[in-house]
Structure 1
Amino acid sequence: MTNASDSRAAKLAHLRSDRLAKGDPIPLPLTMAAIFHAPGDATGFNQYGRFSNPNWDAIEEMLGHLEDAPCRAFPSGMGAISAVFFALLKAGDRILLPSDGYHTTRILADRFLGAFGVTTDVRPTSSFLDGGFDGYRLVFVESPSNPTLDICDITAAADAIHKAGGQLVVDNTTMTPFGQRPLDLGADIVVAADTKAPNGHSDVLFGHVASRDPNVIEAVTEWRENAGGIPGPFEAWLVHRGLETLELRFDRMCSSAEIVAGRLKAHRAVSGIRYPGLADDPSHNLARAQMERFGFLISFDLGSEQKAEDFINGCELIHAATSFGGVHTVAERRLRRGDAVPPGFVRLSIGCEPVEELWAAMEKSLDRIVA
């Protein structure tokens, strides 16, 4: 018997099948065009590259299939977040953000929304429901939070926010629709950086907004068209190709992370490990209830800046790099990015390498820093 996730994965690469004529290419063609043939009344047809593109249509169809909701594509995850903020907010509105989530979201709110009269408050993800949500136009949740991997009860937050008259936006970048489904849990809007696992090859920036509220989709579409925050057709084509293998890659990455997290926890060099799949993780029970997988991100502390750098740079199967979700395992000491974490705090993104080979390389590097 198949489940809903398997059904979504099976259909993902066949969404264009019904529209193919004999002799058409099965892979999506790349349409590099700024203008289109549009004589007379061209309503309903492609006319200009800032308004539409066949590669946008294809990627939005795939993302919409995964989200079970209309989607709009953007040139980065922050482009998607910006579209939601600037399309939906006005002077006098208040928003609530996680204090421990991706720092650029807070920078956008503080430096730019504030200048337009929007007030921003912050709250830790682990206690996000404390204090209620009265007076907030938008509430923005990142669960699991990046990089500390705390989790918020999305369903409980959605219920409370709706009773207070607000809307809930969930950044689902760390999980993808195969790991967590915020719209099914009550969120009004999902944003994500498809730069990460959906593309999967660390060679393109991309993002999307998904919502079952037609007013939201209309607003972000109008924002994209008029502000010019559009994705390129080649970038859309790359992400379309990456999405065809997302379920396969995501499954391996999550399965490997579950193995690696347990072994990291047992290693004498490691402390403060966070991974929702660990039975004693503070978020484990909530993760089991609202997430379909536990993800591929692990965070932990190696005690000092030097040890963290030595571990990362000394492991032959880890790239020292920012971002996550690609086929390569990557790690980063996150204090250098301005997160409120200890000097030896490491965010590890498990890739697609064979897990026993990956662990052997990691263990060798860990053993070296405590020798």
Structure 2
Amino acid sequence: MEGTYGDSTRSVKAVGSQSIPGVPVAPMPVPASTYHLSPDETEPLDSYGRSSNPSWRQLETALAELEGASAALTFGSGMAAITSVLRVLAKPGSTLVVPADGYYQVRRYASEYLALQGVTVIEAGAGEICQAASNADVVLAETPANPALDVVDLHRLALTCRGRGATLVVDNTTATPLGQQPLSLGADLVVASATKSLSGHSDLIAGYVAGSQPELMAAVERDRLLAGPILGAFEAWLVLRSLGSAGLRFERQCQNAQALAVMLRNHPAVRSVRYPGLPEDPSHDLAAAQMQRFGGLVSIELADAAAVHALVERSALLIASTSFGGIHTSVDRRARWGDPVPAGFARISAGIEDTDDLIADVSQALR
């Protein structure tokens, strides 16, 4: 029966609640830096706030269930999760492949830190990453890639990595575990920012790592302990609190993104549209084969930067902000952050507004 659950049921079930009379239905935050120790000096489950926290464990259990993993580890941000994994896996003398078309800060970390430690860094786009993986020890893939939304063939990439003996890490931020299950497609680890759609309210920063290989997860946990990029207990509780509605929110975001993409693809003011849910999109067939939903992001190109700014200014619903996955529909002109895209390229993150209202608002703003 569990395999047939829908996204909202999965989300609510992942949050969980002990069916014990008198126990609160809602999870409770445990803000603690230190705990009572046993007088016989046996090791307690919790001793110090940098190593463990009950709020983390609740959230990690939920995230592992959603990702189809045996375990998950929370971090203070998505970048903290990614850099911890790369510190563990990318050793001096090894070869690391990172997305050329993914989140730009990952490339910066690889070139500004790992390369100086003796790691050979190769940047490869979604179409070239399988070939690049044939000479790699560690491969980090992001799919759909942010911001252009190209899709990586995860099954093929996993087979390539397995034949090489390389470790495959997949950034599942844009798809979320409600849209894609990289571990079931052969990934060794999943990394993601919980800042985005999972928490969904633009009020916290968090990240996580999920996997089913005990030794690998233990190594990442050890790095978290020593480096200290931990998630606050209150933030962990907020993410957990938000997870229960993630299925509903993500369903509406995907619905709005699909509707926006359909409307925008024929609009005279729009030069191009990318959305994996469009049948004519170059990534559609692959996305349909490996994703359960196409996500809440749409990428468009307008005439120039001024056209992007005018779109937001003329709208009653759109907001200009970076990041994505929140309840508000937002527009981010990516060239301002250094992404190699045209000046009029914008990433739209669909919110949870009523679809008809959003379409009407964007249509009038483009006129």
**Mapped partners of 1:25, 1:133: distance in 2:** 48
Q: What amino acid maps onto 1:75 in structure 2? A: G
Contact kept? 1:319, 1:331, Cα under 8 Å? yes
**Mapped partners of 2:260, 2:164: distance in 1:** 41
CA offset at residue 88 of structure 1? 2.1
CA offset at residue 126 of structure 1? 2.5
Partner in structure 2 of residue 48 of structure 1: 48
Q: Is 1:195–2:192 an aligned residue pair? A: no
Deviations 1:96-139 (A, max 9, x none): 1111110000001111111211110111113322x352331111
**TM score, norm. by length of structure 1:** 0.95
Cα gap change, 1:162 to 1:314, in 2 (>3 Å): same
Aligned length: 365
Report the 3-state secondary structure (helix = DSSP H, G, I; strand = E; otherwise coil) of the residue aligned with 2:32. Answer: coil
Report the 3-state secondary structure (helix = DSSP H, G, I; strand = E; otherwise coil) of the residue aligned with 1:183. Answer: helix
Partner in structure 2 of residue 37 of structure 1: 36
Partner in structure 2 of residue 310 of structure 1: 310
Partner in structure 2 of residue 240 of structure 1: 240
Percent identity over the alignment? 40
Cα gap change, 1:17 to 1:283, in 2 (>3 Å): closer
Contact kept? 2:300, 2:346, Cα under 8 Å? yes
Q: Is 1:105–2:103 an aligned residue pair? A: no
**Any gaps of 5 or more consecutive residues in structure 2?**
none
CA offset at residue 16 of structure 1? 7.0
Report the 3-state secondary structure (helix = DSSP H, G, I; strand = E; otherwise coil) of the residue aligned with 1:152. Answer: coil
Within a 5 Å distance, the mapping from 1:330-345 to structure 2 comes to 330-345=330-345
Q: What amino acid maps onto 1:253 in structure 2? A: Q
Q: Is 1:87–2:88 an aligned residue pair? A: yes
Q: What amino acid maps onto 1:4 in structure 2? A: G
CA offset at residue 207 of structure 1? 0.4
Within a 5 Å distance, the mapping from 1:1-371 to structure 2 comes to 4=3, 6=5, 9-14=8-13, 19-40=18-39, 41-69=41-69, 70-129=71-130, 131-367=131-367
Contact kept? 1:12, 1:65, Cα under 8 Å? no
Cα gap change, 1:140 to 1:14, in 2 (>3 Å): closer
Q: What amino acid maps onto 1:201 in structure 2? A: H
CA offset at residue 5 of structure 1? 6.1
**Any gaps of 5 or more consecutive residues in structure 1?**
none
Q: What amino acid maps onto 1:6 in structure 2? A: Y
CA offset at residue 179 of structure 1? 0.3
**Mapped partners of 2:299, 2:6: distance in 1:** 32
Cα gap change, 1:355 to 1:140, in 2 (>3 Å): same
CA offset at residue 11 of structure 1? 5.0
**Mapped partners of 1:287, 1:5: distance in 2:** 21
**Mapped partners of 1:107, 1:120: distance in 2:** 11
CA offset at residue 305 of structure 1? 1.1
Moved more, 43-52 or 347-356: 43-52
Deviations 1:302-355 (A, max 9, x none): 111111111123211011000000111001111001001000001000000001
**Mapped partners of 1:5, 1:178: distance in 2:** 13
Report the 3-state secondary structure (helix = DSSP H, G, I; strand = E; otherwise coil) of the residue aligned with 1:126. Answer: coil
Q: What amino acid maps onto 2:246 in structure 1? A: L
Contact kept? 2:299, 2:348, Cα under 8 Å? yes
CA offset at residue 9 of structure 1? 4.1
**Mapped partners of 1:246, 1:60: distance in 2:** 15
**Mapped partners of 1:117, 1:128: distance in 2:** 21
